[in-house]
Amino acid sequence: MDDSGLVVVPTNAMTQPFIFRNAVPGDETLVLGFVRELAEYEKLLHEVRATEDGLRAALFGTRPYAEALIVEKAGEAVGFAVWHYTFSTFEGSPTLYVEDVFVRQAHRGGGIGRAIFADLARRAWAQGCQRMDWSVLDWNAPAIEFYRAIGARPVRGWTMQRLTGEALAALAA
37, 49 Cβ separation under 8 angstroms = no
Residue type, 168: L
Q: How far apart are CA 38 and CA 148, in angstroms?
A: 20
Domains of the chain listed by start with CATH number:
7-172 (3.40.630.30)
User: Averaged over 120-137, what is the pLDDT?
Assistant: 96
Q: How far apart are CA 140 and CA 113, in angstroms?
A: 15
Give the pLDDT band (50/70/90) at residue 98: very high
Give 17-55 pLDDT, tens digit per residue: 899 999 999 999 999 999 999 999 999 999 999 999 999
Closest CA to 27 of 84, 85, 66, 63: 66
**pLDDT for the residue 17:** 87
User: Averaged over 126-138, what is the pLDDT?
Assistant: 96
**pLDDT for the residue 138:** 93
Gyration radius of the chain over CA positions: 17
Which residues are 87's β-sheet partners?
Answer: 94
**pLDDT for the residue 3:** 52
Ranges of beta strands (E only) in the chain are: 7-9, 18-22, 67-73, 76-88, 93-103, 132-133
Q: Which of 41, 65, 85, 147 is catalytic?
A: 147
Given a cut of 50, whether residue 14 has pLDDT beyond it is no
Give 133-169 pLDDT, tens digit per residue: 999 999 999 999 999 999 999 999 998 899 999 999 9
Given a cut of 70, whether residue 13 has pLDDT beyond it is no
Give 63-89 pLDDT, tens digit per residue: 999 999 999 999 999 999 999 999 999
Q: Is 147 one of the annotated active-site residues of the chain? A: yes
Distance from first CA to last CA of the chain, Å, rounded?
45
**pLDDT for the residue 10:** 53
Given a cut of 70, whether residue 1 has pLDDT beyond it is no
Per DSSP, the three-state class of 51 is coil
Q: How far apart are CA 79 and CA 84, in angstroms?
A: 18
